[in-house]
Chain A
Amino acid sequence: MSTPLPPEHPDWLWRDPDPKSSYDAIVVGGGGHGLATAYYLAKNHGITNIAVLEKGWLAGGNMARNTTIIRSNYLWDESSAIYEFALKLWEDLPAELDYDFHFSQRGVLNLAHTLQDVRDSTRRVNANKLNGVDAEWLEPNEVAKVCPIVNVSPDVRYPVLGATFQPRAGIAKHDHVAWALARACDQLGVDLIQNCEVTGFVKDRDRVVAVETTRGRINAGVVGLAAAGHSSVLAEMAGFRLPVQSHPLQALVSELYEPVHPTVVMSNHVHVYVSQAHKGELVMGAGVDSYNGYGQRGSFHVIEHQMAAALELFPIFGRAHLLRTWGGIVDVSPDASPIISATPVENLYVNGGWGTGGFKATPAAGWAMAHTMATGEPHELNRPFALERFATGALINEHGAAAVAH
């Protein structure tokens, strides 16, 4: 496997402006989704008088904390539509943004360890094929060909009975994705405003007209929330509730090693997912900590559990050294599907509820959110992901169904 070095750390790619008194559109949250929303507002809808408000530094939240996996092999039609739309955008974005962010389509294996896993997995492969998503079922010997370091011996606690494989899935350098989007936004005239925390919403009856921030009041024609784990906090400020719970989600990397892991391996059953970054770190994640938390840290037993699972699957990691662990705050919805929706407040829209899987959807979430903010109507991609589904019962239940490790 050839692993080109990542690009050098770039010079400043965007201005650092002070906020103006008024914008046509304000996006709250300067992570991947917020940047993508601003980018497509400008590119697809010609709205360029935009501010992206970030309470910390650009892309310093979950955009800096994810495990960079990109895939679209979800079970339900609504999900595979939006994630496959995202994957197609990912395939074009490096050229479109003129920025090589090392999108590497090295494939993803989702392992099956039980008979039920096998049935669910083959069902998902068939559903994916019907939706035009590349997917195949691999027997254990074929798994070993794709990823020779996976232990496919039958003599382990949870033997690998096979796997689904999506060849077009992969990973990307998350920081470079953010920088690429930020540079493009800046060139289109978007103000990326850091150290600017939203502290309140100014409403005229039921309509939002401005946001209060730590850098003063800013008037807005339309406001979009892209704040991941803090979506509930912002919603409460604006006077409504979201059906999400915020949890810490932890991940970790090893020290740098020679290239040993050619693809991405995920296992719901033993509960870990692993890839190897371009630089050489083994990148691992698993499920959320059980309790609600905004602390960007979790409990160590969750890390131990991940490592045990990784060792079961990859005995070669037995001497690997853990370099660093961290946590992000993810807002988990009841059906493990996102919310890209109008809200009870007029001109205020929300993009959240992505739980553990928001990175892969970054461009599609931005595309759909931009459409929704610009037109006041949902895009076909996000129409099923409105808040109304919790009352109508039209849930899109991807818990477990979508090879999501929760």
Chain B
Amino acid sequence: MLLLTCPWCGPRDETEYHYGGQAHVPYPEDPDALSDEEWAENLFFRDNPAGPFAERWSHTAGCRRWFNVVRDTATYDVLEVYTGAAPAATQPGVAR
């Protein structure tokens, strides 16, 4: 089981959290201007690296707030926990 550190509540078991997938996926600035292919990219395509990955977690059984984790998907090591919409300095895989 993963041990994740909520920025507000501290270290808790994975079972207290809900996974939110890739972090920093922006909503299209001008949705009307997107082609079908661009919508497909926005809706269905996410990064899927074997390595460091910036992802969203929500502390559903605690403070119910969202935060970001950079986690290595190969080793499951948590590399960084941070809040806010801005990617971390060490941030890999920012959505294009």
Asked if chains A and B come from one complex, the reply is yes
Which residues on A are within 8 Å of B, measured CB to CB? 230, 232-233, 236, 241-246, 290-295, 299-301, 331, 334, 390-393
The answer to the question of B87 belonging to the interface, with a C-beta cut-off of 8 Å to chain A, is no
CA distance A215 to B71 in the complex (A): 31
**In the complex, which residues of chain B have a beta carbon less than 8 angstroms from the beta carbon of A334?**
43-44
CA distance A291 to B44 in the complex (A): 17
Q: Summarize B's interface: helix, strand, loop or mixed.
A: mixed
CB distance from B57 to the nearest CB of A (A): 9
The answer to the question of B53 belonging to the interface, with a C-beta cut-off of 8 Å to chain A, is yes
Q: List 10 A-B contacts (CB under 8 A).
A: A232-B49, A243-B45, A245-B48, A291-B55, A292-B48, A292-B73, A293-B76, A300-B1, A331-B48, A391-B37
The residue that A392 contacts in the complex, of B36, B45, B71, B76, with Cβ under 8 A, is B36
CA distance A295 to B76 in the complex (A): 7
**In the complex, which residues of chain B have a beta carbon less than 8 angstroms from the beta carbon of A299?**
1-2, 14
Which B-chain residue is minimally distant from A395 (CB atoms)?
Answer: B44
The answer to the question of B46 belonging to the interface, with a C-beta cut-off of 8 Å to chain A, is yes
Residues B6-30 near A (CB distance < 8 A): 13-15, 18-19, 21
**In the complex, which residues of chain A have a beta carbon less than 8 angstroms from the beta carbon of B1?**
299-301
**In the complex, which residues of chain B have a beta carbon less than 8 angstroms from the beta carbon of A236?**
49
**Given the interface contacts A242-B48, A290-B19, A295-B75, does A390 sit within 8 Å of B53 by beta carbon?**
no
CB distance from A186 to the nearest CB of B (A): 30
**In the complex, which residues of chain B have a beta carbon less than 8 angstroms from the beta carbon of A246?**
48, 50, 73
**Given the interface contacts A291-B2, A292-B73, does A233 sit within 8 Å of B50 by beta carbon?**
yes
Tell me whether B36 and A294 are in contact (CB under 8 A): no
**In the complex, which residues of chain A have a beta carbon less than 8 angstroms from the beta carbon of B41?**
241
Which residues on B are within 8 Å of A, measured CB to CB? 1-2, 13-15, 18-19, 21, 36-37, 39-41, 43-50, 53, 55, 71, 73-76
Tell me whether B14 and A243 are in contact (CB under 8 A): no
CB distance from B70 to the nearest CB of A (A): 12
The residue that B53 contacts in the complex, of A233, A292, A393, with Cβ under 8 A, is A292
Tell me whether B73 and A294 are in contact (CB under 8 A): yes
**In the complex, which residues of chain A have a beta carbon less than 8 angstroms from the beta carbon of B50?**
230, 233, 246, 294
CA distance A205 to B89 in the complex (A): 35
The residue that A243 contacts in the complex, of B18, B39, B44, with Cβ under 8 A, is B44
CA distance A390 to B45 in the complex (A): 9
**In the complex, which residues of chain B have a beta carbon less than 8 angstroms from the beta carbon of A291?**
2, 19, 55, 71, 73
The residue that A232 contacts in the complex, of B36, B48, B74, B75, with Cβ under 8 A, is B48
Q: Which 9 A-B pairs have the closest CB atoms?
A: A232-B48, A290-B19, A243-B44, A391-B40, A294-B50, A299-B1, A390-B40, A391-B36, A334-B44
Which A-chain residue is minimally distant from B44 (CB atoms)?
Answer: A243
CA distance A391 to B53 in the complex (A): 25
The residue that A390 contacts in the complex, of B13, B44, B47, B49, with Cβ under 8 A, is B44
CB distance from A248 to the nearest CB of B (A): 9
